């Protein structure tokens, strides 16, 4: 995964219910100037093309938002040029993207044309054998994540009380009063959804550098039990009502709940993370839990945490197996891809931009 200081997110997540897509949030078609939908199979150069266009755009002084692949964070699934309202996106499964306004906004780029078909025929049986088992690894990972999510939800519900929810609401109100001045005579802010974290073959990742690039004031939310959502939901509503645009980041293990919130206009972020270097504030949400309730359920919570960790580790192991199979597949395809044509296509797209 690229560790340079760039704006990077995920739009897909390996979740307890399977692959969870936010690709409809990539760039609203009604606002977009152009969206290039890349089509083509494994190893045909989709990520290579996007990295080349991104590099050319950065050389020209453009801001680039990178969308990483949750299956392989070293690979790209999309790039967005927000100043130009332009995006390039891998439109193949599992994140299938189809045009809403074909020809007007979106256009297909057929990278399947970069395959050398005659060469691929010579490895026909190897390719077909390599395809088998790949999806099975993902299905096993999703089953493990599903079981882990059920256990975690049980822990969360055990500790979440009405009193705690009131405390979180009051704390959110105080933060809003101090950090989010109300704008007068403005419409509510817009909400963009992005995943800041993902469960990947490299483990459970959080792209904290993305917040650090955009925000100088970062609240670190210490949260072992999944309690941050109560605070974040109040903060989201308050920030939007005060007229600021936000990036709302769901939890990949529970995509219906927030895990992080970014307000780039105010250089303000709230991250459910631990160990951040020199955060603006640290909020110990764990410390708000009722001590009597915590002591009463301590052994049960310890056991649940241990099982939850083991299940997530097993899911990561299955994703690593899937990645290994995918690498083998790409290794078979790569010698029969015309990367000169990929480079030429990247330059053509950049010139159009």
| Model confidence pLDDT, tens digit, residues 8-39 | 999 999 999 999 999 999 999 899 999 999 99
pLDDT at res. 128: 82
pLDDT at res. 24: 93
What's the pLDDT tens digit per position in 50-78? 999 999 999 999 999 999 999 999 999 99
Give the position of tokens 């105010």: 266
What's the pLDDT tens digit per position in 105-118? 999 999 988 888 88
Is 95:77 a contact under the CB 8 Å cutoff? yes
Q: 188 and 251: one domain?
A: yes
Residue 75 to residue 339: CA distance in whole angstroms? 16
Q: Is 290 left (phi over 0), alpha (psi -120 to 50) or beta?
A: beta
pLDDT at res. 17: 95
Say whether pLDDT at 253 is over 90. Answer: yes
Say whether pLDDT at 142 is over 90. Answer: yes
Within a domain: 20: yes
Identify any residues that bridge with 88 across adjacent strands, giving them in sequence order: 36, 79
Please give the C-alpha separations between residue 43 and each of 46, 299, 310, 334, in angstroms, as whole numbers: 8, 49, 33, 6
Say whether pLDDT at 84 is over 90. Answer: yes
Identify any residues that bridge with 343 across adjacent strands, giving them in sequence order: none
Domain boundary among 252, 267, 289: 289
Give one DSSP letter per residue of 199-243, joined into a string: EETTEEEE-HHHHHHH-SEEEEEE-SSS-HHHHHHHHHHHHHHTT
Q: 76 and 185: one domain?
A: no
* 308 phi, psi to nearest 5 deg: -60, -45
Q: 191 and 264: one domain?
A: yes
Q: 184 and 101: one domain?
A: no
Counting the structural domains of the chain, the total is 2
pLDDT at res. 50: 94
pLDDT at res. 132: 72
Q: 169 and 104: one domain?
A: no
At CA 7, angle to CA 66 and CA 215, rounded to 5?
160
pLDDT at res. 144: 98
What's the pLDDT tens digit per position in 304-336? 999 999 999 999 999 999 999 889 888 888 899
Closest CA to 70 of 140, 4, 20, 35: 20
- Range of 105's domain? 7-115+338-352
Say whether pLDDT at 186 is over 70. Answer: yes
Region of poorest pLDDT, from 9-18, 129-138, 185-194, 278-287? 129-138
Within a domain: 167: yes
* 328 phi, psi to nearest 5 deg: -60, -40
Within a domain: 272: yes
């Amino acid at each position: 995964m690229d560790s340079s200081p760039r704006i990077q997110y995920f739009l897909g997540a390996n979740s307890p219910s399977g692959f969870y897509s936010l690709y409809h949030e990539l760039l609203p078609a009604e606002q977009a100037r152009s969206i290039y939908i890349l089509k083509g199979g494994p190893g045909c150069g989709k990520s290579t093309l996007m990295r080349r266009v991104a590099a050319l755009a950065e050389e020209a002084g453009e801001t680039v938002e990178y969308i990483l692949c949750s299956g392989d964070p070293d690979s790209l699934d999309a790039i967005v040029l927000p100043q130009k309202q332009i995006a390039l996106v891998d439109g193949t499964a599992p994140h299938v993207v189809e045009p809403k306004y074909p020809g007007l906004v979106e256009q297909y780029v057929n990278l399947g044309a970069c395959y050398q078909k005659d060469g691929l025929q010579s490895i026909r049986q190897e390719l077909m054998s390599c395809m088998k088992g790949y999806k099975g690894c993902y299905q096993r990972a999703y089953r493990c994540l599903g079981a882990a999510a059920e256990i975690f939800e049980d822990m969360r519900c055990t500790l979440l009380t009405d009193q705690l929810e009131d405390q979180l609401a009051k704390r959110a109100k105080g933060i809003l009063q101090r950090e989010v001045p109300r704008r007068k005579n403005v419409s509510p802010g817009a909400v963009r959804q992005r995943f800041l974290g993902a469960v990947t073959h490299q483990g459970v990742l959080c792209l904290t550098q993305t917040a650090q690039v955009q925000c100088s004031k970062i609240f670190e939310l210490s949260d072992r039990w999944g309690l941050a959502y109560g605070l974040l939901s109040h903060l989201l509503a308050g920030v939007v009502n005060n007229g600021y645009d936000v990036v709302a980041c769901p939890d990949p293990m529970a995509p219906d709940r927030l895990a992080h919130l970014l307000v780039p206009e105010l250089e303000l972020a709230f991250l459910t993370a631990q160990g951040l270097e020199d955060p603006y504030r640290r909020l110990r949400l764990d410390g708000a839990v009722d001590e009597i309730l915590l002591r009463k359920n301590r052994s049960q919570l310890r056991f649940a945490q241990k099982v939850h960790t083991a299940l997530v580790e097993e899911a990561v192991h299955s994703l690593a197996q899937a990645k290994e199979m995918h690498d083998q597949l790409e290794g078979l395809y790569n010698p029969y891809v015309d990367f000169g044509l990929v480079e030429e296509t990247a330059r053509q797209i950049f010139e159009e931009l």
